[in-house]
Structure 1
Amino acid sequence: MRTERNLTRLDRVFARLDREPERPAGLDVPRMSRHRIVLFSATLAFYLAIVVAVLTTSWLVRFDWQVMFFRPYQQWPEIHAFLDYWVVLGQRGPTAVMVAAWLGWRSWRQHTIRPLLTFGAALLLLNVTVGAAKIGMGRLGPHYATTIGANEMWLGGDIFPSGHTANAVVTWGILAYMASTPRTRRYLSALSAVVSLSVGLTTVYLGTHWLSDVFLGWAAGLLVLLALPWVEPLLTRVEGWIFSLRDLWRDRRAAAGLPAPVTPVPAMSPQPAAPADEPQVREPVGAPRPARAPAYLAPGPHTPRSERSPVTPAGSRRPPHSERASRAATSPRPVAGG
């Protein structure tokens, strides 16, 4: 008797990934080239320059106050409603869900979990670096500033660098980082740059960040993207470890599997065995079986009810009554009004 194990949804996902265990040939993994190292060093120098300029209350802090007193949201109020929605492209929650859905589809099509692992590593680096800088420097925003012309540092704030700006750079830049072809990478890089620049300037327009916060947010997000090739070997090992755990889990499930229970079959009359040279035909599992007669019927041929001869009792089942004959002899009672 043949039985087949029903595959669960997780088994089907793993079977899909097993169709092509190796990465596609067109899936390029960025390397830490000399050009990328130069860009990383320049961005790091720019990051440190912004921090020093704010700490020393230089011309950049004075420019921050001039932009704040200009109040862009009052100069162009007609675009305020639109920019309230546009700034959502820099919020970590909604953007992470959208990008993770896209990268999950990429993982399904490319039979690898590297896109999701890379995105998770990028978000982890972003939260650690930007969060530590926010808490460490504790700068207050324009709406909570206390002293005109001051840098507002170490006062318990959390806006330096701009989290919206850094998150926009990393979230949309990871799409360009994971592109399969150089042409697609260029187009997505330009698109992510436009989105991150506009989101940063939107926070300045709304008055939630200083302009120097946005400068530092751009640098912080770009540093995370440029540092990702250093994390690629670790991601490769993590991916191999996850698949090894998957294989171990499947082996344990196969070893712990029990045979399907056998349904008892009622005894039947023995049938003559088929000749040795004649192939035996087995009944497939789940095939419909012929209907059997109910147990309460006696063995033998049975005719349907429509073909049976009617059986009428010899006499009436009702007891004799003296008035029955007189009622039958009389004519029926006329209908009232007839």
Structure 2
Amino acid sequence: MRTDRNHTRLDRVFARLDREPERPALVGMPRMSRHRMVLFGATLAFYVAIVWAVLITSWLVRLDWQVMFFRPYQQWPELHAFVDYYVVLGQRGPTAVMVAAWLGWRSWRQHTLRPLLALGVSLLLLNVTVGAAKYGMGRLGPHYATEIGSNEMWLGGDIFPSGHTANAVVTWGILAYLASTPRARRWLSALSAVTSLGVGLSTVYIGTHWLSDVVLGWAAGLLILLALPWFEPVIARAEDRVFDLRDRWRARRGRTAPAVGPVARPVVLEPLTDRAGPAPEPVSPGRPVRPPVYLAPGPHTTRAERSPVSPAGSRRPPHPERHPRGTTSATRP
């Protein structure tokens, strides 16, 4: 009786991955379209507006102080254990390792370096832009505030914008950016938005960031994702350069050099005057030198002096007085 195996959901997932093409050529790379340009301009204007609202100590700064005095970690203490673990999704080290492992497997599967290079470019832009804004404006966090109602700017801090929030937007949003189908891109965009939103609110809950820090971190991460199509030519050139270096290294490694040994010099044999036969010809330099033939010690005769051997019959010399076996002579001596 034949029984069919019931395939689990994991088997179906791996079966679908096995059908994935090795270097898909029809994957639509995001371009800097008009729609994306409008989004980039609107996000940049929102970014500047948030910074200006904090600089002039507007209603946004007053909202920051109200949320800080509300102390969410004291209002809902039962969430503290969960939030401590959830906020790790915004830390650069663990999230970069997890996403790089997935994108590395995908790069190996599809024989392309674009996923890893796109991740590297996005993290580089994140470090440069967010790091420069943090240390340039130097805002202090809620735990280190010095004056109630002030914006705490240019006092040596490094929390504006929120690095956790911006890192969550970029790290998880790069998965949506590199999605191969529109449906996957929509689902991953929604998932990354919810994850980054939760990470930002977690930092406000713990009290490490102002609410305006989180809002500016969302805008900073979104600006990086929207600007990535400008860097696609750089990513393509870097990928071609890496593959070119790999091909050269493989060609250099696969080229087998001939084994270098002692060079055989041409040997000229002098003619032998005490032996019969013509003198051997000298060995030309281009002809390979044969190993010497081992000869037993003792005198040797030439081929002409040896007794001829008939091709058929016995190798013993003929004996006229010997009779073949099975016959008896008439008289015995």
Tell me, yes or no, whether TM beats 0.5: yes
Q: 1:48-63, aligned counterparts within 5 Å?
A: 48-63=48-63
Q: Which residue of 2 aligns with 1:202?
A: 202
Do the aligned partners of 1:26 and 1:181 also contact (CA within 8 Å) in 2?
Answer: no
What does the per-residue CA deviation read over 1:108-149, in whole Å, with 9 as the maximum and x for residues that have no partner? 111101000000000000000000000000000000000000
Q: Which residue of 1 aligns with 2:124?
A: 124
Residue 71 of structure 1: how far off its partner (Å): 0.2
Residue 179 of structure 1: how far off its partner (Å): 0.3
- Is 1:156 aligned to 2:127, yes or no? no
Letter in 2 for 1:251: A
Q: CA 1:148–1:54 in 2, change beyond 3 Å: closer, same or farther?
A: same
In 2, the alpha carbon distance for the partners of 1:268 and 1:192 equals: 81
What does the per-residue CA deviation read over 1:220-270, in whole Å, with 9 as the maximum and x for residues that have no partner? 000000000000001101111111111222222234645599xxxxx999x
In 1, the alpha carbon distance for the partners of 2:143 and 2:33 equals: 43
Q: Which residue of 2 aligns with 1:28?
A: 28
In 1, the alpha carbon distance for the partners of 2:50 and 2:200 equals: 16
Letter in 2 for 1:179: A
Q: Which residue of 2 aligns with 1:241?
A: 241
What does the per-residue CA deviation read over 1:36-81, in whole Å, with 9 as the maximum and x for residues that have no partner? 0000000000000000000000000000000000000000000101
In 1, the alpha carbon distance for the partners of 2:160 and 2:256 equals: 55
In 2, the alpha carbon distance for the partners of 1:233 and 1:181 equals: 21
Residue 91 of structure 1: how far off its partner (Å): 0.1
Letter in 2 for 1:37: M
In 1, the alpha carbon distance for the partners of 2:52 and 2:249 equals: 53
Q: 1:1-338, aligned counterparts within 5 Å?
A: 23-255=23-255, 257-259=257-259
Q: Name the SS of the counterpart of 1:209 in structure 2.
A: coil
Structure 2 runs not aligned, ≥5 long: 1-20, 262-291, 295-333
In 2, the alpha carbon distance for the partners of 1:165 and 1:227 equals: 18
TM-score of the aligned structures, taking structure 1 as reference length: 0.70
Q: CA 1:258–1:144 in 2, change beyond 3 Å: closer, same or farther?
A: farther
Letter in 1 for 2:73: Y
Equivalent pairs: percent with the same residue? 79
In 1, the alpha carbon distance for the partners of 2:102 and 2:257 equals: 36
Letter in 2 for 1:149: G
Tell me the C-alpha RMSD between the 2 structures.
2.2
Letter in 1 for 2:109: R
Q: CA 1:260–1:91 in 2, change beyond 3 Å: closer, same or farther?
A: farther
In 2, the alpha carbon distance for the partners of 1:268 and 1:61 equals: 101
Q: Name the SS of the counterpart of 1:32 in structure 2.
A: coil
Do the aligned partners of 2:22 and 2:109 also contact (CA within 8 Å) in 1?
Answer: no
In 1, the alpha carbon distance for the partners of 2:258 and 2:58 equals: 75
Do the aligned partners of 2:22 and 2:110 also contact (CA within 8 Å) in 1?
Answer: no
Do the aligned partners of 1:173 and 1:225 also contact (CA within 8 Å) in 2?
Answer: yes
What does the per-residue CA deviation read over 1:187-237, in whole Å, with 9 as the maximum and x for residues that have no partner? 000000000001000000000000000000000000000000000001101
In 2, the alpha carbon distance for the partners of 1:144 and 1:191 equals: 33
In 2, the alpha carbon distance for the partners of 1:23 and 1:101 equals: 18
Q: Name the SS of the counterpart of 2:140 in structure 1.
A: coil
Letter in 1 for 2:226: L
Largest Rg, 1 or 2: 2
**How many residues in Structure 1 have an aligned counterpart in Structure 2?**
247
Residue 178 of structure 1: how far off its partner (Å): 0.4
Q: CA 1:260–1:110 in 2, change beyond 3 Å: closer, same or farther?
A: farther
